[in-house]
Amino acid sequence: MERLVELSEQEVQIDFQLNCKCRANVHLRSLSTTTPIAFKVQTSSPNKFLVNPPNGLIPPLSYATFQIILKPQTQLPSSFPRSPSDRFLIKTAKFHSSSESVYIIQSETINSWFNSEAQLVTYDLKLKVAYVGVFLLRHAITLSDTDAVKNIIKRQKSIVTDLSSDDSESLVRLATESSNSGKLIELLSQAGLKTNNARQKLDNGDVVEESKWVFKGWTDLHVAAAFNRMDEVSSWIKEVCEKGGSLDHRDRDGQTALHVAANKGNVECVKMLIEGGADKNAKCNDGWTALYTAAANGNCQIVELLMELGADPMISTEDGRTAVDIAQDKGHKEVVKILEQGDMVLTTARRGEVNNLKQLLQRGANPNYKDQYGLTALHASAIKGHKDIVSMLIESGMDLECHDKENHTALHLAVEGGNFETVELLVNKGANINAMSMKGATPTYMAKAMGYDNISHFLLNRGASSSSSLS
């Protein structure tokens, strides 16, 4: 029988992780010029795999994609990369239907059609399974299994070159400690991983550490951040403050010292760098921010700190994924909760939902979360005039002078919203009555400009400068 479809790959490669769902996409291309092609996917191991969708229709000369999902596994594959026991059968046939809406036919209908057509002639394709990925590569290196290492690299040609600097370093360290280090290092080197420094490290110890950092393109600040050397980080910050310069020098992967500190889980170093002026939203070459890195690592403490310091969780990588996306993919539920709670705090404050906000704060949600504009829950509730929310947030310890990216305080926004009672509350709680925005506007200037005479009179009576205005 003539071929009806073409597979993009003859082998589905699954990036394996223990205790996580692992996904891989398979693409089918119809070779038919006139007739829709029906397909149905069957697996030899239904207890291990799901297929989504398990069947479908492909328009003439078009493509269809289905996803193979490996359920969370508590044990390593019995063999890898190739798995003789795990495979898929893709049944295909020309689909003839009198319905004009052929492409919205339900999955159950296609399945029944395959089962009911007694004389149906199908063209079947076999799809093999290979387990790959960094997790298994590390395991193979640990076992000194050079054949497995060679075959994983052969299937995933970029597996080594796409590694971050820290992962590359870790991989080399494993190889040098194995019983077949020479062969393993040769395989990794041929795949594009630099290993000269690893060989020297065995003989020369710490001397090679410095040359390795040079190869990465690390500055002394990167090294200090990696090893949590707080005195050195502090000296860098002091020098930048006194002489000018930057805390955001990039290594060859585009990482700043903040990326390195976040990746290593060095909490105090992350805090010191950001408070010293490091860009908390800096993106490296692959689009990762420090927050994205911490979310990928499942480091709740670093994620929480970065959120509190105003890191933007909505920044996406080149493929459009955010910190929440990577945390969900990795199964880091606590990180997801932290990232989503910050947004929920802002939303409930904006809506004036007192009880919901109270519950969030009681569950440990961060009241200092900022959106991409630098707005906090205090800003959002102030501009909406939700006086009870404003009071609750102040009592929870929020800084009255926290500002958005335009340097507006909550008092500025309460004035902008024309909310006299909220303005009065903020002033009574100690808000800076002469705070200036980035453009030089004070709350009094804004009240006058917007015609809120009652608010401007109140502010003047409480000691606001009458001469404050935009320059």
What is the DSSP secondary-structure string of 35-97?
S-EEEEEEES-TTTEEEESSEEEE-TT-EEEEEEEEPP-SS--SS-SEEEEEEEEEEEEE---
* pLDDT band at residue 1 using 50, 70 and 90 as cut-offs: low
Q: Is the pLDDT of residue 322 over 80?
A: yes
The stretches of 133-283 forming alpha helices (DSSP H) are 134-142, 146-155, 165-177, 181-190, 196-204, 206-216, 220-226, 230-243, 257-264, 267-275
Please give the pLDDT value at position 183.
79
* pLDDT at residue 212 tops 70: no
CA torsion through residues 117, 121, 123, 126, sign = positive
Name every residue whose Cβ is closer than 8 Å to that of residue 147 and which is 6 or more positions away in sequence: none
Whether the pTM exceeds 0.85: the reply is no
Nearest to 136 by CA among 72, 73, 76, 48: 76
pLDDT at 414: 95
Q: Which stretch of 71-80, 200-209, 279-288 has the lowest confidence by average pLDDT? A: 200-209
Task: Give the 3-state secondary structure percentages of the chain, helix then strand then coil, rounded to 5.
Answer: 45, 15, 40
d(Cα 232, Cα 249) in Å, to the nearest integer? 15
User: Tell me, what's the pLDDT at 171?
Assistant: 84
What pLDDT is stored for residue 101 in this prediction?
A: 54
pLDDT in tens, 399-446: 899 999 899 999 999 999 999 999 999 999 999 999 999 999 999 999
- Beta pairing class for 82-94 and 37-43: antiparallel
Mean pLDDT of 215-236: 83
Contact 381, 393 (CB under 8 A): yes
Condensed to tens digits (0 to 9), the pLDDT of residues 370-410 reads 777 888 899 999 999 999 999 999 988 888 999 998 999 99
Domains of the chain as residue ranges with CATH: 5-131 (2.60.40.10), 135-215 (no CATH), 220-331 (1.25.40.20), 338-461 (1.25.40.20)
Give me the pLDDT at residue 118, please: 67
| Whether the predicted pLDDT of 133 surpasses 90 | yes
Residue 337 vs residue 159, higher pLDDT: 159
**Confidence class of residue 214 from pLDDT cuts 50, 70 and 90?**
very low
Q: CB neighbours of 86 closer than 8 A, spacing ≥ 6?
A: 43, 44, 45, 48, 49, 129
- Higher-pLDDT residue of 344 and 57 is 57
